[in-house]
Amino acid sequence: MGTDRTITATAETKNRATGTRASNGTQWDPLDFTNWRTLARFTRTIWKVDDGVQPLSTLAEKGSMEEGSGRTANSGRSTGRTELGSPFRGWDDHTCPPTCGRGKKSTPEAEALGRSRGGFGTKLHVRAEGNGRLLTFALTPGQQHDITMAETLLEQGAVFRKATGRKRLYPKRLIADKGYTSRKFRSFLRKHHIAVTIPHKENERHKGVFDKALYRTRNRVERLFARLKQFRRIATRYEKRGENFAAMITIAAIFLWS
């Protein structure tokens, strides 16, 4: 085996000197001696291959890159800009990043963000059914009063009634805390034939009958808030947009109903 190895090495040395190599139909071309050191140490010949590179004529209308090379024909100096021809002209006119100032700007009030005594945040107004499940809700900035969204909550969130096969929008009775008591809102409830269980404030002149035992059932809506806060994205608002935050509350309400 030692003799065979020596003969093979000698034959390969002669082939390298002549620039030829025995292969199965493969064509090899020798390189000049000055270019040997620029290649890898493995061989002194290269393959003839077709790289299939497409010409750059498709990037410009006239088949060259000279128009957009950033130089003028008269002065020959660079203009400081590089272009790829008229099909791409105007894409590099903006000095700012592509996303800078392109989005629609909004305000904190539009995204239901405001500063109250508790800090900077959002106030969630809810309307729950008798078993304490969410029917409808509204988002406002943190400093907005509760009574401002009372009529809005009653105007949405209809309940389907199996007995009659119709949808009922207004409830038979409303139970709320002192934050929802006002002369205007109570007249609105009487107009739509809704019984009221809301405690009066001390500065109110006309005080009607108040059922304390029925008012204790208001803890169901408080327990609803406790269940909603078990979802981390609701307890701590991570969404910048108000509509995204409302979508998270809707998903949480679906989980609570299921």
How do residues 162-197 score in pLDDT, each as one tens digit? 778 788 899 999 999 999 999 999 999 999 999 999
Distance separating alpha carbons of residues 139 and 249, to the nearest angstrom: 10
- Report yes or no on 215 lying in a domain: yes
Same domain, 130 and 253: yes
Distances from the Cα of 189 to the Cα of 138, 173, 182, 185, 211, angstroms: 19, 9, 11, 6, 17
Same domain, 65 and 145: no
* Residue finishing a domain among 70, 104, 122: 70
Residue 52 structural domain: 1-70
Distance separating alpha carbons of residues 47 and 30, to the nearest angstrom: 10
Q: Which token pair is 217?
A: 């059932």
Average pLDDT, the chain: 75
User: What pLDDT does 105 receive?
Assistant: 83
Q: Which token pair is 105?
A: 């700007």
Q: Closest by alpha carbon to 248, among 137, 120, 127, 110?
A: 137
User: What pLDDT does 79 receive?
Assistant: 53
Task: Indicate left, alpha or beta for 119 from its phi (over 0: left) and psi (-120 to 50: alpha).
Answer: left
- Average pLDDT value for residue range 24-36: 56
- Report yes or no on 50 lying in a domain: yes
Same domain, 145 and 211: yes
Q: Which residue has the higher pLDDT, 55 or 140?
A: 140
Helices 219-228/242-257 angle, 10° precision:
110
Same domain, 247 and 139: yes
For residue 33, pLDDT beyond 60: no
For residue 31, pLDDT beyond 50: yes
pLDDT tens across 138-161, in order? 999 999 999 999 999 999 988 888
User: What pLDDT does 114 receive?
Assistant: 93
* CATH code of the domain covering residue 158: 3.30.420
pLDDT tens across 232-248, in order? 999 999 999 999 999 99
Kindly report whether the global pTM for this prediction surpasses the value 0.85: no
For residue 5, pLDDT beyond 80: no
Query: How many structural domains is the chain composed of?
Result: 2
- Report yes or no on 96 lying in a domain: no
**CA 253, chain centre distance (Å):** 21
Same domain, 122 and 250: yes
Same domain, 58 and 118: no
* Residue finishing a domain among 35, 70, 105: 70
Residues contacting 218, CB < 8 A, separation 6+: 175, 176, 177
User: What pLDDT does 215 receive?
Assistant: 94
- Report yes or no on 84 lying in a domain: no
